[in-house]
């Protein structure tokens, strides 16, 4: 039910963290995975790792905020079955610490990025009347996260983009869904924790927003992406899958 054999997937930000876990899992399930990242070293390294496991993958360097480059990439690649808009960036600050340029920078990657990739690749899916688009939003797409104004604004926009795409196009058979993780223990988060005098305490504080008291592992987000990518979720479109250890349930 969860096989991706003969499917072609593209994962933006596939060189690190959640994107890497998604790319690996998709390849293990039989997909050919295009890893797209602005970091060529990380992206190529991930392709090598997938090939070493016997999977199929290739790399394309792209800054997702560049609409023309995304359109050019779509001309070069085969039609996609699965598009995962995972690349995203963060910013710490309330209104007082957020400049308009910070908001623009996050918007360019977190919102125009998925929009650009959809503009480039969704028309091919619509023509073939099949495909699954998965946008990595965040808990910040459904709740405000304290001192993350620009991040909250842009991730709410990702949820809105997903719903608008689903409303306009789901009758074609192409599906659009968002995943909203809470805190995930990626290498970046781990390196940030290591900077604290007491990393264990910092972990507990960061994870305390989640009712189960721990961060998710990237593989737990990848499992949700696999569900949304595979035909088993054919009935699911326009949804917003929260994987937040209960964060959004209340406090």
Residues of span 110-169 touching ligand NAD by CB under 6 A = 113, 136, 138
Site string for ligand NAD, 208-247 (x = CB under 6 A): ----------------------------------------
Position among 2, 28, 60, 63 found at the interface with ligand NAD (CB under 6 A): 63
Q: What's the closest the beta carbon of residue 187 comes to ligand NAD, in angstroms?
A: 6
Of 78, 83, 29, 35, nearest to 54 by C-alpha is 29
User: Are the C-beta atoms of residues 240 and 180 closer than 8 Å to each other?
Assistant: yes
Q: What's the closest the beta carbon of residue 180 comes to ligand NAD, in angstroms?
A: 7
User: Are the C-beta atoms of residues 243 and 178 closer than 8 Å to each other?
Assistant: no
User: How many chain residues touch ligand NAD (CB under 6 A)?
Assistant: 29
Q: Is 25 in the site for ligand NAD (CB under 6 A)?
A: no
Of residues 60 and 130, the one with the C-beta less far from ligand NAD: 60
- Supply the residues annotated as catalytic: 151
Q: Which stretch binds ligand NAD (CB under 6 A): 1-9, 59-67, 98-106, 201-209?
A: 59-67
Q: Is 65 in the site for ligand NAD (CB under 6 A)?
A: yes
Q: Which stretch binds ligand NAD (CB under 6 A): 74-82, 83-91, 191-199, 204-212?
A: 83-91
Q: Is 177 in the site for ligand NAD (CB under 6 A)?
A: no
Residue ranges in contact with ligand NAD by CB under 6 A: 12-13, 15-19, 37-39, 42, 62-65, 86-89, 109, 113, 136, 138, 181, 183-184, 186, 188-189
């Amino acid at each position: 039910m969860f096989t991706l054999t003969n499917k072609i997937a593209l994962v933006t930000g596939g060189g690190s963290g959640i994107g890497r876990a998604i790319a690996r899992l998709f390849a293990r399930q039989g997909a050919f995975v295009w890893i797209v990242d602005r970091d060529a070293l990380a992206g190529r390294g991930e392709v090598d790792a997938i090939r070493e496991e016997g999977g199929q993958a290739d790399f394309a360097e792209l800054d997702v905020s560049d609409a023309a480059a995304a359109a050019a990439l779509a001309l070069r690649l085969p039609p996609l079955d699965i598009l995962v808009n995972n690349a995203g960036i963060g910013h710490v600050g309330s209104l007082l610490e957020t400049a308009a340029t910070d908001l623009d920078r996050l918007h360019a990657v977190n919102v125009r990025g998925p929009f650009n990739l959809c503009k480039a690749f969704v028309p091919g899916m619509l023509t073939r009347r099949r495909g699954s688009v998965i946008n990595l939003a965040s808990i910040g797409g459904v709740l405000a996260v304290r001192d993350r104004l620009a991040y909250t604004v842009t991730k709410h926009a990702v949820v809105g983009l997903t719903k608008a795409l689903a409303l306009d196009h789901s009758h074609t058979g192409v599906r659009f869904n968002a995943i909203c993780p809470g805190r995930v223990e990626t290498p970046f988060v781990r390196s940030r924790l290591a900077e604290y005098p007491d990393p264990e305490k910092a972990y507990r504080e960061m994870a305390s927003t989640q009712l189960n008291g721990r961060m998710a592992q990237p593989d737990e987000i990848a499992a949700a992406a696999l569900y949304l990518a595979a035909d088993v979720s054919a009935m699911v479109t326009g949804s917003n899958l929260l994987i937040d250890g209960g964060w959004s349930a209340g406090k």
